Amino acid sequence: MLALAGRRLAASIPSLLIILVGMFLLLQLAPGDTVDALMAQMGGGGDAALMAELRAFYGLDLSVPARLLNYLWRLVQLDLGFSSIYGKPVATVILERLPATLLLMTASLSFAFFFGLLFGVIAARRVNRWPDTVISTLGLVFYATPSFWFGLMAIVLFSVHLQWLPAGGMESIGEGLTGIRRALDIALHFVLPTLTLGLIFLAIYLRIMRASMLEVLTLDFVRTARAKGLDETRVITRHVLRNAMLPMVTLIGLQAGTMLGGSVVVESVFSLPGLGRLAYEAVVQRDLNTLLGIVFISALLVILVNFCVDLLYAKLDPRIAKETGG
């Protein structure tokens, strides 16, 4: 298994390199650098000497190829560089932001996966009857709703009018909560963001699960199971579900990457300190090191998740384990 992990990682290095270099060059095409962004924040009044000094301070006085080579050389030494907006190492900045993103991502993926599975099964078993129609329609509505609007409406309803849940932020500020009370407080703050992000993904899981169930239900081994005299519940749980889940697991692997980047909107609406907002800010402020650092970490995460997905495949379908194991 370790060998497999190693092979996977080695295979992803060239793509990682292409992504990083491409990103670096792409950002060179955007007009303005981080000193221009700083000037915009200052509201002007920077004289030429000051600006030249700042460019030297941020290492912008070198040529583009020299900066790229410097960056790659530092990366080889596992140094992600210094963030110009935060004034501290990029690794530290990203580590600070990782918990919120991971929490949001895990919570909403689990939500989408679990309820997608549940409603997918219900819809498939009652196909073309009213439960199927209701579930499929609602799924489409959630899928078609822009997440910022959905999030804002959730805030207006649950925080402004009903006052059940906090309107934003990751936890109550300055109340010094610890232990289980802090965990509960954080959980309360994550309810709305998780629902907002999860409901959009739910629709996809639901559709996939429904289609996959319908397909498996027509296969021969299901007919055999039914012929054996198994009751419907047992046919579904023991025989159909396991086989119908394979596409769901594939999807989770694919979406782990999307969710890292796709949470910019949800993080902004709910004022969560996650990687999406950090990436957005890094682009606006032309903080190249931070942006490349995020790309790097995200790519690593995606590789890791896909690796886990592969292992899970093997668990669900022993045939796959034999092929890769051999």
Partner 1 sequence: MDVTRRAALMTSAAIAASVNAPELALAQETPRRGGVMTVHFATEQRILNPSLQASTGVYIVGGKIQEPLVDLDANGQPTACLAESWESSADGQTITFRLRQGVTWHDGRPFTSADVQFTAMEMWKKILNYGTAVQLFLEAVETPDAHTAVFKYSRPMPLGLLLRALPDLGYVSPRHIYEGTDIRQNPANTAPIGTGPFKFLQYERGQFIIAERNPNYWRNNLPYLDRVVWRVVSDRSAAAAQMEAGQILYSPFSSLALSDLARLGRDPRFEVTTRGNEGNPRTNTLEFNFRNPLLADIRVRRALAHAINIPFFIENFLNSDYAKPGTGPIPTVSTDFYPTGAMPQYPYDRAVANRLLDEAGHRRGAGGVRFNLRLTPAPWGEDIALFSTFIQQSLQEVGIRVEIVRLDAAGFLRTVYNDWNFDLATGWHQYRNDPAVSTTVWYRTGSPRGAPWTNQFGFSDTSIDGIIDAAATELDPAKRKALYADFVRRGNGEQLMWNPIEQLFLSCYSKRLRNHANMPRWGSSSWHDLWIAP
CB-wise, 155 or 217, nearer to partner 1? 155
Identify the DSSP state of 167.
Answer: S
- The piece of 3-11, 195-203, 214-222, 268-276 that touches partner 1 (CB under 8 A) is 268-276
CA atoms within 13 A on the CB side of 35: 17
- The piece of 45-53, 118-126, 248-256, 314-322 that touches partner 1 (CB under 8 A) is 45-53
Residue 315 parent element (H or E):
helix 288-316
Closest distance of CB 266 from partner 1, Å? 10
Residue from 140, 284, 300, 308 touching partner 1 (CB under 8 A): that is 284
> Among 296, 282, 284, which Cα is nearest to 83's?
282
CA–CA separation, 185 and 187 (whole Å):
5
Asked whether position 294 contacts partner 1 by CB under 8 A, the answer is no
Q: Which residue has the tokens 């095409």?
A: 29
Helix (H, G, I), strand (E, B) or coil at 177: coil
- Spell out, one character per residue from 161 to 200, where the chain touches partner 1: x when CB under 8 A holds, - when not: --x--xxxxx--xx--------------------------
Residue from 71, 84, 147, 296 touching partner 1 (CB under 8 A): that is 84
Contact between 117 and 205 (Cβ < 8 Å): yes
- The piece of 48-56, 102-110, 210-218, 235-243 that touches partner 1 (CB under 8 A) is 48-56
Closest distance of CB 288 from partner 1, Å? 12
Contact between 112 and 202 (Cβ < 8 Å): yes
Asked whether position 64 contacts partner 1 by CB under 8 A, the answer is no
CA–CA separation, 200 and 255 (whole Å):
12
Alpha-carbon distance values, 151 to 197, 198, 203, 221 (Å)? 8, 11, 16, 44
Helix (H, G, I), strand (E, B) or coil at 37: helix
Asked whether position 43 contacts partner 1 by CB under 8 A, the answer is yes
Closest distance of CB 47 from partner 1, Å? 5
Tokens of 189: 């703050």
Size of the site for partner 1 (CB under 8 A): 56
- Applying CB under 8 A, the residues found at the interface with partner 1 are 30-34, 36-48, 50-51, 57, 84-87, 93, 96-97, 148, 151-152, 155-156, 159-160, 163, 166-170, 173-174, 268-274, 277-278, 281, 284-286
